[in-house]
Amino acid sequence: MTKTHVTATVNGDPVEFLADPRETLLDCLRDHLGLTGSKEGCGTGDCGACSVLLDDVLVCSCLVLGVEAQGARVETVEGMAQGGTLHPLQRKFIEHAALQCGFCTPGILVAAKALLDRNPDPTESEVRFGLAGNLCRCTGYDKIVRAVLDAAAEMRGAQ
Ligand code: FES
Ligand code: FES
Are the folds of 4-79 and 88-156 the same? no
Q: What is the mean pLDDT of residues 2-30?
A: 97
Which residues, judged by CB distance below 6 Å to any ligand atom, belong to the binding site of ligand 1? 40-43, 45-50, 60, 62
What does the pLDDT look like over 70-90, one tens digit per residue? Answer: 999 999 999 999 999 999 999
The third-level CATH classification (topology) of the domain covering 88-156 is: DNA polymerase; domain 1 (1.10.150)
- Ligand 1 mean position to 66 CA, how many Å? 15
- Ligand 2 mean position to 57 CA, how many Å? 23
pTM of the predicted structure, to 2 decimals = 0.95
CA distance 120 to 11: 21
CA distance 73 to 155: 24
CA distance 6 to 34: 15
- Ligand 1 mean position to 45 CA, how many Å? 4
Atom of ligand 2 nearest to the CA of 101: 4
Write the class of the CATH domain 4-79. alpha beta
The full set of domain ranges for the chain reads 4-79, 88-156
CA distance 53 to 112: 11
